[in-house]
Amino acid sequence: MTAGGRGFAFPESEAAYLRGPKREMLDTFDPNPRAEIVFSSLFSPNFPSDARFDPVRIAAASHLNLPAFFDPVVPALESRRSVRSFRQKRSRSQPLHTSSIHVEEYSDGTESTNRVPSMLISSDDSIEQFSLSSSSKETTDSGVTFSGHDSRLIMAKAICANVALLADDLPFSTGDFINVLDSTSHAALWFGMCADRTGWFLASHVTIIDPSAPSEWQNNPGFSHEMRQLRKRVLHELLITEKDYVTLLHNVVVGFVEQCRRHKELFSAALVESIFGNIEKLAVLHAKLLSELESAVDRKNPENSALADVFLRNSTNFEIYSDYCNNRMISCAILGKMLEDTRYVHFFEACRLLRGMPRLNLESFLLSPVQRMCRYPIQLRELLKATPVLHPDRKDLEKALVAMKGIASRVDRRVNRLESIQKLIKWQQNVIGFRGPNLIENNCRLLHFGEVSGKCFAKSALQWSKTVHLVLFDQSMVVCKKIVKKNECVFKERFSLSAARFADVTDGKDGPHAFQITTQNRSYIFNCKDADAKSEWLEKLRTRPSPNPPTVNEMRFALLSLKHR
What is the CATH classification number for the domain harbouring 250? Answer: 1.20.900.10
Q: Tell me if 432 is assigned to some domain.
A: no
Tell me the HSE value of 314 on the side-chain side, using a 13 A CA sphere.
Answer: 20
Q: How many domains does the chain have?
A: 3
Q: Same structural domain for residues 315 and 411?
A: yes
As a whole number, mean pLDDT of residues 274-303 equals: 92
pLDDT at residue number 397:
94
Residue 282 sits at the vertex; the CA angle it makes with 416 and 317, to the nearest 5 degrees, is 75
Q: How confident is the model at residue 88 (pLDDT cuts 50, 70, 90)?
A: very low
Contacts of 59 (CB under 8 A, 6+ apart): 36, 39
Q: Tell me if 435 is assigned to some domain.
A: no
As a whole number, mean pLDDT of residues 299-304 equals: 87
pLDDT at residue number 153:
61
pTM above 0.75, yes or no: no
Highest mean pLDDT range out of 124-128, 153-157, 249-253, 416-420?
249-253
Q: Is the pLDDT at 379 greater than 80, yes or no?
A: yes
Give me the domain span that covers residue 514.
Answer: 445-548
Q: Same structural domain for residues 316 and 304?
A: yes
168 vs 99, 103, 153, CA distance in Å?
18, 30, 22
Domain end, chosen from 208, 228, 248, is at 208
Question: Domain of 463: which CATH number?
Answer: 2.30.29.30
Q: Tell me if 5 is assigned to some domain.
A: no
Give the DSSP letter of residue 265.
T
Q: Same structural domain for residues 197 and 127?
A: yes
Question: Domain of 189: which CATH number?
Answer: 2.30.30.40
Cβ contact 197:170 at 8 Å: yes
Q: Same structural domain for residues 125 and 110?
A: no
Q: Same structural domain for residues 176 and 161?
A: yes
pLDDT at residue number 212:
55
Q: Same structural domain for residues 319 and 235?
A: yes
| Strand 476-483 versus strand 461-473 pairing type | antiparallel
Q: Same structural domain for residues 179 and 81?
A: no
Q: What gap in Å lies between CA 256 and CA 539, rounded to an integer?
A: 51
Q: Tell me if 291 is assigned to some domain.
A: yes
Q: Is the pLDDT at 386 greater than 60, yes or no?
A: yes
Q: Tell me if 410 is assigned to some domain.
A: yes
Q: Same structural domain for residues 336 and 451?
A: no
pLDDT digits (tens, 9 = 90+) for 496-521: 998 899 999 988 888 899 999 999 88
Q: What gap in Å lies between CA 290 and CA 317, rounded to an integer?
A: 14
Phi, then psi, of 261 in degrees rounded to 5: -65, -30
Q: Is the pLDDT at 546 greater than 80, yes or no?
A: yes
Q: How confident is the model at residue 216 (pLDDT cuts 50, 70, 90)?
A: low
Q: Tell me if 348 is assigned to some domain.
A: yes
Closest CA to 444 of 357, 317, 281, 558: 558
Q: Same structural domain for residues 290 and 232?
A: yes
